[in-house]
Structures are given as structure tokens and as C-alpha cells.
Structure 1
Amino acid sequence: MSARRGMRRLAPLAALALLLATAPALAQDLLIRNATVHTATARGTLQGADVLVRNGRIAAIGTRLDAAGATVVEANGKPLTPALFAGITAIGIDEVSGEDATTDTTLALGAGSKEMVVRPEFDVTLAFNPDSLLVPVARVEGLGFTVLAAGTGEGGSIIGGQGAVMRLDGGDQPAGPKLLFVQLGGGSAAGLVGGSRAAQWMLLDQLVDEVRGRIPAGSNAALLTPAGRDTLKRYLDGGGRLVVRVDRAADIRQLLRWSKRHGVQVAIRGGGEAWRVASELAAAKVPVFVDPLDNLPSNFDRIHATLENAARLRAAGAIVGFSQAGDSSHNARKIRQLAGNAVAHGLPWEDGLAGLTRVPAEAFGVGGELGGIAPGMRADLVLWDGDPLDVASLARQVWFDGRAIPMHSRQTELRDRYLRPAPDATRGDLPRAYSTPAH
């Protein structure tokens, strides 16, 4: 048989092998029957409802829906929600925080020098690792998407760079538009501009002047590269949102004035004192992603922090979401506890769920795809054994595009391994950790 004929004969086999290899990733048809469906949309909560999924998307929500060949899951009245927001994190770009080789969050060009480095074109999504062990740890807890944040650490600048929404379904491409990360106020961001908050605003205005051509690109005073100017111009022209880490009420007011003056869309991350400017935030329709456990004056930017921050913001009409202030990546599952604490301190329950679903999806540009249960949206769903905002509840099953994911992770595997009965020296099937080397 000639080589050419052999290649023709192998081609169909190769195509079949490729199809089989990709089959698990294909969208599934699914009917979840008799659930308490928290839609996170204007329809609110539906009791005893069915959710039908076709080709990976929500096809219908109602009662006594016809399965018509779809896999049927009996919910028995248990809560069904959209897959939840994991917060603004470094999941997939920060594996072991203490090991530099596994962290990709921060650009450090110019570290140790006096030169200010401003590189808004830096994009952390290029380093995202879908095989990170943090991904399954988060998603078995009902978390379906996160926002990767570019850091502004030592050697960086007040502008960290770009990130985006990433689904935790095993893919490696951003699910939404790019976001630009900025840090203002005290701490390291102030240190990088000589310790002066006023210098931050001076530099931000200079960057605007560069983009608008008021400072020539070749000027000795220029801070941006050509790519940096193009990137920043897109945000100044309304093509993206700035996510600004800021806490002090006075700094938030200054941010609102600056963003209005330049026509820039912003979202606030942190907002420890945001409740003090709640009416201004509501009027500007600026979403605020708070940590409801931030209730102590841990620094001079958070003197007025309170457990009622989320409730007071929402009562004033502000848009409220959640993100952890601490180790948001390795402990992403705790974000449900944050939302539950906000509800315990006055935030309505539906707003607590919205802060983990609809609010982040809409704020970060994926509102038509994620964060709700409605016809046409992705079937990224979670069936719970109890109240999803109760830390004692667990996810019974998580689906991405209607595909049920394995409900295990490295942590559950370790749990199961070490919950075995006490080692028996006569057994030969124990893991190596239980065996004693012969002497």
C-alpha cells in the first residue's frame, strides 16, 4: 500500500479520534426538575421549577417541561443557582504565593530604580493556567468564574495592567472584555509616587495628556510606550472598565470626579469606607466590590470600616458585589461566607446572591452569558443541598454548559485518603504515606 493511500485511510480514523477526544467537552442536554430556582434575574426565585438545557444553554424555565431525550436530574426542591463569582483573584496565575516561579500577577520592570514604570498593556490573562490545582478546588464549591487581577506591588506602578473574566471550566481564554487595574490611596501605591496621594492624580492626568497628544510621544516626560498609549486610549474612549482598589471616602470622591471628567468607566474594589459616599456611588452607577468582613481600622484608609458596609450601600441604591481582601485565590470558597455575613448585617438575601452572580457578570462585561438563569444564557449551574449563602451548605453538583463536572479536587482527594481507617500492617493496599520502610 502506498504512503499516500495509507494517509487517506488514516484520515477518517484521525478525525474520529479527534471527535472522541473532544466529546467530553461538547455541550450537553439536561433537565433539572423540581428545583428552587434562584434565577438572579428580574424573575427572582421560582419554586418547584424545571430548567431545560439544550446545546449548553438555558432553553426554558417552567414546570412539567418535556425532557425529550435530555438527562434528567431530580432536584427535590433543592436550591439551584447560577455558578457563583469567585471574586477578584489570582486563580490560575498564583499557584504557591511564596514561590516566585509560580506567580504571574505583577509586572516589576524597573524595580529598585527611580524610574516610574507605567505599562497598562501588561496582560495577566496570557499566563492563566487552566490546570492549576486552585481551579477544581474553587469550582467544586460552586464557583464558576473569576476576574484575574493585575497586581501593583513593589516595582510596579499605580496602574497594574490588564485582567479579565475567566470561567473555571478548564478553558484558557478570557470570557469577557479586558479590564484595567489601578490602585489608589495609601500603602504601596502611594509609596511608588513618593508617598503623596496628590501625585497619583497628577500622574493619572499626565497619562491622559499623553494619550490625548498633549504630551508628545517622544517627550522625555512621557511615561507610556506606544502599546501603552493604545491600550490606555481604549479605556479612555469607553472601550473598557478600570477596576480601582481604593478605600478612603475622600479618595473615592476624587475618583468619581476624575472618572466623570474624563468619561472613564470605573468599578471599585475594596471600598472600606464606601458607605460614607453611598449616594454619590449610586448616582454615578459605579459598582463596589466589598469585603463584608472588613470591619476594623486595619489602616488609615479604613478608619470607618463596618460590617454594615454592603447593607448601607445597597440601601442608598448603590451596586454591590463581593471580593475578598485577603487570600482571595487559595480561599476563594470563603466568598459565600462573605455574602452570608453581609446578609446577616442587613443586606437583603436576594442582593447577597446578586453580589455573587448578576452584579459581577454585568459589571465585568459578561452579563448576557453568565450570572443568571434565563433562556439563552450559558448553563453554568449549581445544585445545592441548602442555602447557598450558608457556610454549612455544599454544592451537590456543578455544571458548565450543561456538563456535570467531577465533584472532587486535590483537597477532597487528600481528605478521603486520610479519613481511611487506621493503617493495618497486614494490608498491602495502603498508600505510601501509611507504609513504614523496612529496616
Structure 2
Amino acid sequence: MSRRLPRALTRLLVTGALIAATLPVAAQTVLIRGATVHTAGAQGSLQNTDVLVRNGRIAGIGAGLSAGDAQVVEAQGRPLTPTLFGGVTGIGIEEVSGESGTRDDRLSLGDDSHMAVRPEFDVTLAFNPDSIVIPVARVEGIGFTLISAGSGSSIIGGQGAVMRLDGSEEPAGPKVLYLSLGADGAAQSGSSRAAQWMILDQLIDEARGRLPADSHVAALTPAGKRALAPYLDGRGTIVVGVNRASDIRQLLRWSKRHNLRIAIRGAAEGWRVASELAAANVPVFVDPLVNLPSDFDQIGATLENAARLQAAGVRVGFAQASDASHNARKLRQLAGNAVAHGLPWEAGLAGLTRVPAETLGVGDAIGTIAVGRKADLVLWSGDPLDVNSTADQVWFDGRAIEMRSRQTELRDRYLPQATPANEGGMPRAYRKR
């Protein structure tokens, strides 16, 4: 018996194919003239400045640049920024959060599974550049995201990487390893955070060949040992989800003892150990809206977390604490709230651009507006950290994308607009016959 896809799902798939097909493929020479250029880099913010794009790269920054054969975009003083970081998300590997068949972000082998610790689990292999979620984020100025890996059976979730939202299928930078500590990892570590350090030390000993080959406590596959290798000699970054100040202190001691390179996601109580984080040169990705003790790991949460960390010299980026994939556009609202509670504006923009790009190994290509960088740019209607502002145009490699997504398609279909053809403003679907 034949089976037909539900009509709503059919429309979803067709719209996704249409949106993917409309992404331009040819780079242009473009001159964006008279913008307020927020470089997010050493040049800071530049008033009434031109940006010349050629062959997908930024070829010039300055006043009165010659247009030549370039397409000219009159910015009229509007802000121009690098495309923004979308946070730590499942964009491209999570279509519908409530439908397990559309989620590839988590490995579940079961509690009794042999060798349940699988650092070789790599979610980038499931990335779908045609995901409907991508255009929704892209038209809001989001240009790159760190896709995350999780595990229901181990505090080591697996590996992810930065993905540009330009239609590319391959990671834009090196892989990162995910680790969950504190209360979030207790269920995978014998219900005790103390056991987490025991397990991690054992895994390091095993990966470095310090356990007998026939040891009954071995937890890693040969592929798992190979996957851990670059992280154990400082060539890879471990992104650690942790919130409590005492856990962060223990993490700093542990990473120093094993010579590991780490970044922290969460750090709700990070301000309490800000000087230690700065001394260790450990960047953090915080959610500035976390200000209530939703659990015992966040009793010290405060809206001033980002500002206090930055004032102490910590590199601060942003990541939402929950529901990040379908709300990546809200990350700039988080940055705006951090600014409202003491973070300098330039640091707020850096937390959406330069800081995540540099931390995650793609800072030589994206995250700042500088000569030679990829021309991944956003022209805004106003302050990009103000939710009243919108992205007027987004470019990837100097290509202007069509500012259209599933959401704009639905808006145009169902929002009443009075025209001679639609009977006084009734949408097509509701016309009376």
C-alpha cells in the first residue's frame, strides 16, 4: 500500500528546496558605501566608511573608495557588522525538537552498552545544509554556529564543529569535544560529581596507554582513543558545560594538570572565579539572561555575570542555555541585555563575532571585518544589539542572499494585505467564494 506524505510536510520540504536553490552561487564585486562599520576587531567602529568586496573577500576599508565596476550598496550610515555567531546549537542536525527522527545531536547507546564512552561520535557527519532551520537563522544575521553533540550514557558527548550557514556541508574549522560536568553530568557518573574526575582521569590514562590492554575497566574503543588524541596534546579545544564556581575551579586545576585547552559553556557562577579564568586564559560562553537559581549549580547567577567576567579580563562569548537551535536570532538580545547590565557595547558585539570565531579556530577567516577576511557581512536597520533592529541584507563570501525563509513564506501567505486581487486584505487561504 502506497503512503503519502502529509500535506504540511510536503510543503515544508518543497519550501526548503526552494530556499536552498535561491542562495546565489556567484561572488560579486560589491562596494558598501557610507556605513557605520563595526569591525569587531582592532579598528573598532568606523563612521561613514566604505567596504569593498572582491572575489568573496574584503579588499578595502576606508572613506571614498573607488567603486569601479562594483555593485554599489548605499548604506546611508546604517551599521555593518560581521555575520553573527548563533551559539552552541543543533542547527542543521535538529529539525523539529519534539520529533526524534529529525534529531541527530545525541548518542543513546543505553546504560548497559559496552564501551558507552564514544568521543569518536561526530555530529558534523549528519549536518544538513538544506535544513529549514538554517534560513530562519540566516535572514536574522546569523552566519555561523557551533553544532553540539550530547550523550545519554557518558559525560563525554562527542565532537562537533563550527558550521557556516552559507550552504556548505563541511565544517568551517577544527573539531571540538563536548564534556558535561556538575549536576548535568551526574546521571552519567554514578550520581556524584566527585566521580566525574575519577572517570576523566581514567579515560586520559587509557587514551595515553597507561592502562593494560586487557584491563577490565577499559571504556574506549580504538577509534575513541584516536579521537581523544588531539585534545590530550593541546591541539583541540574541549567545550565544557559547567556552572558551579567550585566545579569551575576543579576544572581549571584538572585542565592545567593534563595540559588541556578548554572553553566553558554556561559558567552561571563564573563571576565568582573570574580572576582565575582570566589567569588561565579560558574563554566562556554565557547566557546573560540566567539570573535565577534554577538548580543548585546556579545559586550565584546574576545578570551582571558577563560584565564582571569581561572586567576581570575574561574573553566572553554568548550561548543560550536552552532551546538554542530555533531561537539563534535571540542571541543578540542576550548580548544586548549583557550591555544593559554593564558590559561595554564593543565587548557585546565581540561576544557575537570575534570571540567565538577565535576560540573555535576560525578567527583567521570570519568574525571580524578586516582586509583579507571572508566577506560574511550584515547590514542592519539599526543597532544590531537592539531587538527592534533587523538585518536588511546578509552576504556570504560577498554574495547577497535572498532574505527569505520558511517564516517569511508563512508571513506572506497568511498576513492580510489589502490588494485589488485579494478581496479587501483576506489572505488567499481564507478567501470566500
Q: Give yes or no for contact 2:34–2:49 (8 Å, CA) kept in 1.
A: yes
Q: Note the residue ranges of structure 1 that are not aligned, 5 or more in a row.
A: 1-20
1:49 partner letter: T
Shift of 1:433: 3.2
| 1:287 matches 2:283 | yes
The 5 Å alignment of 1:354-369 reads: 354-369=350-365
Shift of 1:191: 1.0
- Where 1:91 maps in the other structure, the secondary structure is coil
- The 3 A distance-change label for structure 1 pair 120 and 23 is closer
Q: Note the residue ranges of structure 2 that are not aligned, 5 or more in a row.
A: 1-20
- Where 2:190 maps in the other structure, the secondary structure is coil
Deviating more after overlay: 200-209 vs 189-198:
189-198
Output the CA distance in 2 between the equivalents of 1:357 and 1:23.
23
- Residue number in structure 1 paired with 2:332: 336
1:280 partner letter: E
Output the CA distance in 2 between the equivalents of 1:23 and 1:165.
20
Deviation track 1:285-317 (CA, whole Å, cap 9, x = no partner) reads 100000000000000000000000000000111
Shift of 1:426: 8.7
Deviation track 1:154-206 (CA, whole Å, cap 9, x = no partner) reads 3x31000000000011111100000000000003x101111111111001000
Q: Give yes or no for contact 1:87–1:328 (8 Å, CA) kept in 2.
A: yes
Output the CA distance in 1 between the equivalents of 2:118 and 2:45.
44
| 1:257 matches 2:253 | yes
The 5 Å alignment of 1:27-426 reads: 27-109=27-109, 111-113=110-112, 117-152=116-151, 154=152, 156-187=153-184, 189-421=185-417
Deviating more after overlay: 44-53 vs 23-32:
23-32
* CA RMSD of superposed structures (Å): 2.1
Shift of 1:264: 0.5
Q: Give yes or no for contact 1:95–1:132 (8 Å, CA) kept in 2.
A: yes
- The 3 A distance-change label for structure 1 pair 192 and 417 is same
Shift of 1:419: 1.5
Output the CA distance in 1 between the equivalents of 2:310 and 2:245.
16
Output the CA distance in 2 between the equivalents of 1:98 and 1:424.
41
- The 3 A distance-change label for structure 1 pair 311 and 407 is same
Q: Give yes or no for contact 2:244–2:269 (8 Å, CA) kept in 1.
A: yes
Shift of 1:423: 11
Shift of 1:326: 1.3
- Where 2:150 maps in the other structure, the secondary structure is coil
Output the CA distance in 1 between the equivalents of 2:85 and 2:422.
48
2:139 partner letter: V
Instruction: Report which of the two structures shows the higher radius of gyration computed on alpha carbons.
Output: 1
- Where 2:31 maps in the other structure, the secondary structure is strand
Shift of 1:112: 4.2
Give TM-score, length-normalised by structure 1: 0.91
Shift of 1:424: 10
2:303 partner letter: L
What fraction of aligned residue pairs are identical, expressed as a percent?
Answer: 69
2:219 partner letter: L
